[in-house]
Amino acid sequence: MSIRKIFTILTVCALSTPYLCPSQAMAQSVKDSNFFQQGYNDKFVVGTYILSTFLNGKFVGRRVITLTEDGNFFAIDSNQGGTKGVPIAAQSFPNNRFTDGRGVWKFNKSGEITATSLNFNFPAPESTASITTGRADYRFRFNRMTQTVEGTFEVRTFDLTKNPLDENEPVGEGEPFRFTFTGQRVIVND
């Protein structure tokens, strides 16, 4: 190997060293190791869960949520087709015609999982009301031993022209609706 090639390789290595600085890697590692020591490892909660949802202690339906490893959150609800055939407690809602929810999730500092999802709400066919945007905010805990979740979510609706992420926007009458839920991870049996 020529001196020129050796010098070129050593120069590239020397110039790359600041980008691979051990102190930067160590700082990230310390933060992450503390996070994982407390049990907040994303990989433990990633998956799909089936929930039983309740309003004022009364069963209102089922919900399926999915948490992905890259922080996406998906929700679908047994009541989203309208009020026909849904549990009695769910028939009093002003509108049960809405799309699946899409959003994001993360762990907060106290180890709870928080998520926000958005969907669209459609008026009944005979109604002259407008389409609205729905926002659901979740807070829940995951139990690694039982593979279950338990928590709450709040639903708010917004005029379609308004920003549902703006905390100062007015919400629909009587809102937010506050739900509790319990659920378990969906698994494949061998």
Mean pLDDT of 8-17: 43
Asked if 55 contacts 177 with a C-beta cutoff of 8 angstroms, the reply is: yes
User: Beta strands of the chain (E only): which ranges?
Assistant: 47-55, 58-67, 72-77, 101-107, 113-121, 132-143, 148-159, 177-185
Residue 50 has pLDDT above 70, yes or no: yes
| Separation CA 80–CA 60 (nearest Å) | 12
Contact 140, 65 (CB under 8 A): no
Round the average pLDDT of the chain to a whole number and report it: 80
pTM score of the predicted model: 0.76
CA distance 72 to 85: 31
